[in-house]
A and B are shown apart, each in its own frame.
Chain A
Amino acid sequence: DAKTTQPTSMDCAEGRAANLPCNHSTISGNEYVYWYRQIHSQGPQYIIHGLKNNETNEMASLIITEDRKSSTLILPHATLRDTAVYYCIVRSDGLTFGKGTHLIIQP
């Protein structure tokens, strides 16, 4: 599985869009990009995944660069409940989590 690099922490104002970057420069052609988040004391929660095209669901949007070496998770209108650790992972088989980005939504 390709490794990912994410900032350790980020702040975002409530109501604004939160943009979480992830670098995965060693990604191979058949590896998907997944985003999960973990709210304190809970198990990780699936957010979104994609291969090449940008994806959107009720939780978030995923923007993947054309060369697929990086992606951005967008929470369009962040709320206080979005404060969590966000994990970007790349997998073909197996699953490796890094330390993620601790996103703090400020009131």
Chain B
Amino acid sequence: GAGVSQSPSNKVTEKGKDVELRCDPISGHTALYWYRQRLGQGLEFLIYFQGNSAPDKSGLPSDRFSAERTGESVSTLTIQRTQQEDSAVYLCASSRKTAVTPVAYGYTFGSGTRLTVV
């Protein structure tokens, strides 16, 4: 597609329920990133995929958070047993990445999913 697409754009869920957030990256972009942005805060890195593998999961805040990517395309971020502190905008970005370093390509971000846990 022309840009990074995220769905849903808004999600209101009850505390304790599970949610799935979806990201469709730009076709051909092998690198995919998930970020969280709480109200008034900067971007917080969550997880990074290169292809279907996640070499860096260090940013996932707890074991309630998981993510997967299939076909080097769509990625899903799952939050189990949601808590009120999970309320935030979840942003996805994709980037081309080749085997050659240094990496010089920029990122394209989606518009985010606004998650509200009530």
Chain A residues within CB distance 8 Å of chain B: 30-32, 34, 36, 38, 42-46, 49, 51, 85, 87, 91-100
Contacts and interface: CB of A to CB of B under 8 A. Distances in A.
Contact of A94 (B48, B106, B112): B48
Interface string B1-40: 0001000000000000000000000000000010100000
What DSSP secondary structure best describes chain A's contact surface? loop
Given A43-B91, A43-B109, A43-B112, A97 B102 contact: no
Given A94-B56, A95-B33, A97-B42, A43 B104 contact: no
Contacts of A51: 102, 104
Contacts of A92: 101-103
Give the top 8 A-B pairs by smallest Cβ distance, nearest first. A43-B109, A97-B43, A30-B102, A99-B42, A46-B106, A44-B109, A43-B111, A97-B42
Nearest to B97: A93
Contacts of B4: 43
Interface in B83-113: 91, 93, 101-104, 106-112
B65 interface: no
B103 A97 contact: no
A3 to B, nearest CB: 13
